[in-house]
Amino acid sequence: MPYPGSEDDDVDDYVDDVVDDDPDDDLHDDVDEELNITDKKKPRYWEVDVINAAGQISRRRLTVADVLEESPNGTRIMTRWNDVPQPVGQSAKLLANYLGQLARQFKDFPIMVERWDAAILKKKKTEFYNSKVKSKFVVDDDGDHKKYVMSSLGKKWKDGKSRLFNKHYKWELTLEENLKNRPSFIHPDHWAVFVNFRRKAEQVAIAQKNARNRKKQKTPHTLGTDSLAIRKDELELRYGREYSRGDMYVVSHKDAKGKFVNEYASQKAELLQVEMQNT
């Protein structure tokens, strides 16, 4: 039987970009494209502003691979944040994909660790933020930016674990066969600990519950790999006006032809517009 879902790590909801708290809404919380770390796709570039140690600002086209390299002359990527705060603009997309790449390598945060809030990761998180985020991006020392980044990273780490398990673990095979079927970049001992944890009855129950919850979702969003925060920022810059909660629900639930993804989304949009008019 196929494995029905993922473990329920209690990752902070700080990065949630959803328009409302309706469980039927399935909006991305960030802009990570979730590429497999072994993908051979053509590298994607983002145009961002960078600042060097002398305070000189310039525009560059960077890939995730560029960011992974040593920053020349103390150069860092400038970031822009909305008032939530959430990162917006091209630098937000680059940051999200960079974090996703590192999270799915499981080098800084091993796959065998059960939970993102495990005490063993506390020191590693601080070291990671200082050496691999602050050294690359212009972010705060220990405030809202760090909280967002580490929460987003935790979600990517958790989702990456689930994807690897679902891809490499086959329930019709024996435990020994599944242990041999590990991803090539994961240490055998780490994979063994991880697999045995995921096979526990309580973890299977959590995964089944998550799968049932996903089936209840009625309104898929149409944002692609953009976050709601980024799309809202782009629209406001383009049209010179604020976009309300109701406006963004409409934007995120219409297809390319301007039609709602389904009748439920249409009705929900009407209710939101009425609610906004009455407040």
How would DSSP label each residue in 84-109? Answer: S--EESHHHHHHHHHHHHHHTTTSSS
Question: Residue 215 — very low, low, confident or very high, per pLDDT cuts 50/70/90?
Answer: confident
Residues 6+ apart with CB under 8 A from 238: none
As a whole number of angstroms, the distance between CA 93 and CA 64 comes to 10
* Tokens of residue 260, six digits: 């709602």
- Give the 3-state secondary structure of residue 190: helix
Predicted local distance difference test score (pLDDT) of residue 174: 97
Angle CA 198–199–203, to nearest 5: 60
Q: Which range is least confidently modeled, 6-15, 102-111, 145-154, 210-219?
A: 6-15
Q: Report in angstroms the alpha-carbon separations of 192 from 2, 120, 143, 183.
A: 19, 19, 37, 11
| 15-35: average pLDDT | 34
Answer whether residue 34 shows pLDDT above 80: no
Residues 6+ apart with CB under 8 A from 220: 26, 261
Helices (H) and strands (E) in the chain, counts: 10, 7
As a whole number of angstroms, the distance between CA 88 and CA 28 comes to 14
As a whole number of angstroms, the distance between CA 182 and CA 184 comes to 6
Question: What tens digit of pLDDT does each residue of 112-139 get?
Answer: 999 999 999 999 999 999 999 999 999 9
Cis peptide before 85 (omega within 30 of 0): yes
Angle CA 70–73–74, to nearest 5: 70
| 37-56: average pLDDT | 80
